[in-house]
Homo-oligomer: A and B are copies of this chain.
Amino acid sequence: MPEEPSDTGFPIIDDIDRVIHEPARLLIMSHLYVLDSANFLFLKRQTGLSDGNLSSHITKLENAGYVEIIKKFVDRKPLTVIQLTKGGREAFRDYQRQMQHMFEGIRD
């Protein structure tokens, strides 16, 4: 009979949202959680990611329904705004809760 991992207060591996867990996206999501939205260039500077990488990471976040990507022209220059969605906010909060819950059982 296969056994389930017993409840130790630690999260089950599968519970961790890997879309958010990936460091680059964790950083993007942290900024968005605070600012709600940010433009491409800003995120690029904050994260230190290259154009290509930032682009692919926000596309993944978009596919997960965590952000909305809005393209406009401002001052006749392209401006890409990345906007956190409600689902994205919730997912990030869940992730945060899970991590903190895990660390709670751990104090020296």
Contacts and interface: CB of A to CB of B under 8 A. Distances in A.
A17 to B, nearest CB: 10
Interface string A29-68: 0110110000000000111110000000000000000000
**How many copies of this chain does the complex contain?**
2
Interface residues of A, number: 34
A3 to B, nearest CB: 6
Contacts of A13: 23-24, 27, 47-49
Main secondary structure of the interface of A (DSSP, over half): helix
Nearest to A45: B3
A105 interface: yes
Nearest to A13: B23
